[in-house]
Amino acid sequence: MRRWMLAGMVFATMLLGTACAADQEPKPNGEMEATVKRVVDGDTFELSSGEKVRLIGVDTPETVKPNTPVQPYGKEASDYSKELLTGQKVTLKFDVGIKDKYDRLLAYVYMPDGSFVNEKLVREGYARIMTIPPNVAHADLFLEAEREAREQNRGLWALGDTNTSDETKQSAQPTEAPEGKLIKGNINSKGEKIYHVPGSANYERTKPEEWFATEEEAQAAGYRAPKR
């Protein structure tokens, strides 16, 4: 009898362990706890499990992208994320899409005290917004945070080439299309990133902040097609 009771307890423990493990699996609109092993750059980090996580809705200046020079304020953003996240146990909350094309988890990240890391990076001026559907749950919050950062000239918005009006900033951008890149990326006065393809209504009068070869490339950088 005792043997059967012991076997039952072991089986129940195994079921409980399996259920707990299942709760920690990433799934749409789910959440899980994890420990940050190291920070790759301002918006990407690696978990103790080895999986990499990309913060949803934000884009910090590049520091480690192949064939891309370190961008202005990239080191500051990377250092900030390293100090904030390295070794921390965080909560990852997922939206509709849980992975990107690089097989990185896409997550909203919360610190043990409840602070929202994605929003914090934008509001403190370490990141711009980068909204890519279908993960848009906090798009309005991020837009409001970026507006505040811009108005207060925080972080990257205090740099000489961003601490200007939209019109002045746009006129400073190269208007000649790089070879093979004809799609124009523009950030409007509301902070929205919009791309324009040749032949579209506003293409000729749009002053680009970035150029792209394909619509997919523009979308990956956080730009959307115009609504009309």
- Which is it for the CA torsion 153, 155, 157, 162, positive or negative? positive
* Given 31, 46, 51, 62, the catalytic residue: 62
Our answer to whether residue 38 is catalytic in this structure is no
* Given 31, 46, 54, 154, the catalytic residue: 54
Residue at 137: amino acid letter: A
In this structure, what token pair is assigned to residue 58? 């934000």
- The values of phi and psi at residue 49, to 5°, are -75, -10
Our answer to whether residue 205 is catalytic in this structure is no
Overall size of the chain counted in residues: 228
In this structure, what token pair is assigned to residue 167? 């019109």
Cα maximum dimension of the chain: 84
Our answer to whether residue 54 is catalytic in this structure is yes
Strands 105-110 and 52-55: parallel
Catalytic machinery residues: 54, 62, 104
